[in-house]
Chain A
Amino acid sequence: MRALAMVWVVSLLGTGCSLDRIILDGTLESNRKAASTFDTLSDLEVAKLAAASSLVQLEGMQRLAPDNEDGLYLLTNGWASYGSAFIEDDWEQAFDRGDDDAEAAAAKRAREAYERAVRFGTMLFEQKKPGFVAATRNYDSIKAYLSTWEKRDAEPLLWLGAAWLSRVGVASDDSALVCELFVGVALIERSVELDPSLSYAIGVTILGAYHARAPDAELGEAKALFEKAIAMTGRKSLTSQVMMAQNYACMAHDEPLYRALLTEVLAAPDQILPEQRLENVIAKRKAQRYLGAPRLARCGFSTK
């Protein structure tokens, strides 16, 4: 099946005629419409293999149709999600094993995934509304630029913002990246302004994580945002609880809350939200890990 798809892609490479382009555009549009079915998978291995394979194919298609907005969006979303769901999983496991080399290698891979997401997202933004790169000078300039974006743009704003912030998350020793964190924040803030419910309030959750980035950050704001996201999803999209534990409860040194949130996630029924099955499988996997000794110690909590 995959071989057939590759043959199809290669055949398109050779032709360059407008009919092929129409088919390609249609395929990318269909892929975008159908992308949410991916979230219903429950087998992490299948999801990982499928995601990697899809990304390679999408990159091929994007090369053939570099200005296709669906393609650019799918690559932004795809690389951001792949980095977060799968490469960061390897990164966390390496940390828990105390394997510094593997941890550094996984962080590098994750950063590269997010770099790709940011690159495709930037291309998309420059194409839709030129001036994005120039607007990243400071918070006011990016806010002014983003003010003209509308509700239908909330998704690309969300995923470019998520990739932007995640890139800093895996490379926070790079001061040049940390310096530009505000761009990712502004992107997510605008997405949330336009549509806070998108992807089960993940934008609100990500903003919560940003405000809990350090013990001397805005922890009160972080708490309010996490609580809002959890309420919006009726406590069914478990990523919000996991991120609240990992970010807010850890930084606020609130061990009872940390344990309660993760225990709640582990106790949640597998089918609590079928449309978000994959996200919830990943959330449960993380919750298990975060209750392990290395993660507890990282937050300064008791490991006994």
Chain B
Amino acid sequence: MKGSLMILAPLLLSSLVFAAEPTTLKVGSLAPRESPWGNVLRVWVKAVKEKTKGEVVLELYWNATQGDEAAQMSKMKTGQLDGAIVTAVGLSVVDANVNVLQLPGVYGGWEKLDVVREHLRPRFEKSFQAAGFELAGWGDIGLDRFMSKGFAVKAPGDLKGKRPWVWREDPILPAVYAAAGVVPVPTSVPEALPELSTGNVNVMSISPLGSEQLQWSSRLDTMNTMVVAPNIGGMVLSKAKLDALKPEHRAIVLETAKVACKALTDRIRAEDAAAFERLKKRMTVVEPSAEELTAWKKLFKEARERLAKGTFTPEVMTDVEKLTRD
């Protein structure tokens, strides 16, 4: 009896060692730990730890400690990261069609975006899986609106002669400004605040929450209430890493990720709405007239036509136009 127990001992020991060594999933984010995004993601970390009884641990890398979005997506490909929470810029590294969810002038708010995104979800999930990723869920950033300094942007003509900012990686807004006959100022995010301060940039399409978080709203004084486009993001996980987990753990990670993304979406949409209300009190508010809205629709349509030529798969563009038609 004693001898057989001795034989089992190493096995027991090895299983104890196995239980004591959790599987760690490294997930990158641009968001700070102490932020609306961080608050939700920290609950997700706890949930995974509790539900897997500590066998799977999520290690969040905040504040772009794993590099910008392109770097994080690249690190996922090489296995240095197992996940990333990114904006459309990061998502479009895998599938450029994701940007159709940010097309100007077709959504007007979250409702139509939800319809289109749900319709296209299987397609995106498939394209992400083909590239070795699981699109675990979406996480929105806000509804972009025109904000300016020293003048109002009521109609497209008001952009003439002005200096609109675009994020260097953004494929959408340059098409809008091209249609308006305006030359935008493309910069990285860190360069935007100095450009705004010097007046080299005097108009931007940005979500109220984003403009507050980046301190840009303090340099702007006028806001058009019209929604230009939704600003979206999502959570991507490494398929290989997920597939290497026990099936029940894989399911837990994905289920909790979906819950976290839903919570993130709800929280950020509410935060953006609150930011919009705050900015309405700080800025001069412009409500476009019916005539001005018609002019914007025409401009956005022209921008979408430009984007349809090569940027997106034609069927995807057709789907979006059909689903968002009034």
Query: Which residues of A come within 8 Å of B, CB atoms?
Result: 100, 107, 137-140, 170-173, 175-176, 178-179, 181-182, 185, 214-219, 221, 250-251, 253, 298-300
Q: Are A215 and B215 in contact (CB under 8 A)?
A: no
For A221, the chain B residues whose CB sits under 8 A away are: 194
For residue A245, give the distance in angstroms from its CB to the closest CB of chain B.
15
Q: How many A-B residue pairs have CB under 8 A?
A: 76
Asked if B282 contacts A137 (CB within 8 A), the reply is: yes
C-alpha spacing A251/B33, complex, angstroms: 13
Q: Establish whether residues B63 and A251, one from each chain, have CB atoms under 8 Å apart when the complex forms.
A: yes
Q: List 29 A-B contacts (CB under 8 A).
A: A137-B282, A138-B218, A138-B219, A138-B220, A139-B219, A170-B34, A173-B36, A173-B39, A175-B36, A175-B212, A175-B274, A176-B274, A178-B212, A179-B275, A181-B218, A185-B215, A214-B63, A215-B30, A215-B63, A216-B64, A216-B189, A216-B214, A217-B190, A218-B193, A218-B194, A251-B63, A298-B33, A298-B65, A300-B66
Q: With the chains together, A172 CA to B64 CA distance in Å?
A: 17
* Complex Cα spacing A175 to B193, Å: 18
Question: Is B65 in contact with A253, judged by CB distance below 8 angstroms?
Answer: yes
Interface hits, B149-185 → A, CB 8 Å? none
| A7 CA / B116 CA spacing, docked (Å) | 71
Q: Would B218 and A216 count as touching, CB distance under 8 A?
A: no
B298: Cβ under 8 A from any A Cβ: no
Given A216-B189, A216-B190, A218-B193, decide whether A140 and B221 contact each other with a Cβ distance below 8 A.
yes
Q: B204 in the interface, Cβ–Cβ < 8 Å?
A: no
Q: Check B32 against A214 for contact (C-beta < 8 Å).
A: yes
Q: B232 to chain A: closest CB distance in Å? A: 18
B78 at the A interface (CB under 8 A): no
Residues of B within 8 A of A139 (CB): 197, 218-219
Q: In the complex, which of the residues A107, A138, A171 contacts B221, with contact meaning CB atoms closer than 8 Å? A: A138
| Minimal Cβ-Cβ distance residue in A for B61 | A300
- The answer to whether B218 touches A182, judged by C-beta atoms less than 8 angstroms apart, is yes
Minimum-distance CB pairs A-B, first 9 = A300-B65, A182-B218, A215-B64, A179-B212, A139-B218, A216-B189, A172-B34, A216-B190, A173-B39
CA distance A63 to B221 in the complex (A): 39
B62 proximal to A (CB < 8 A): yes
Cβ of B97 within 8 Å of any chain A Cβ, yes or no, is: no
CA distance A35 to B65 in the complex (A): 40
Shortest Cβ distance from B283 into A: residue = A138
- B217, CB-defined interface residue at 8 Å: yes
Q: Which residues of B contact A137 (CB under 8 A)?
A: 282
Q: Does B38 contact A (CB under 8 A)?
A: yes
Bitwise, B64-89 to A at CB < 8 A (1) or not (0) is: 11101000000000000000000000
Q: How far is the CA of A219 from the CA of B190 in the complex (A)?
A: 8
Kindly provide the distance from the CB of A213 to the nearest chain B CB, expressed in whole angstroms: 8
Asked whether B188 is an interface residue with its Cβ less than 8 Å from the other chain, the reply is: yes
Question: B209 — which chain A residues lie within 8 A by C-beta?
Answer: 175
A122 to B202, CA, bound (A): 31
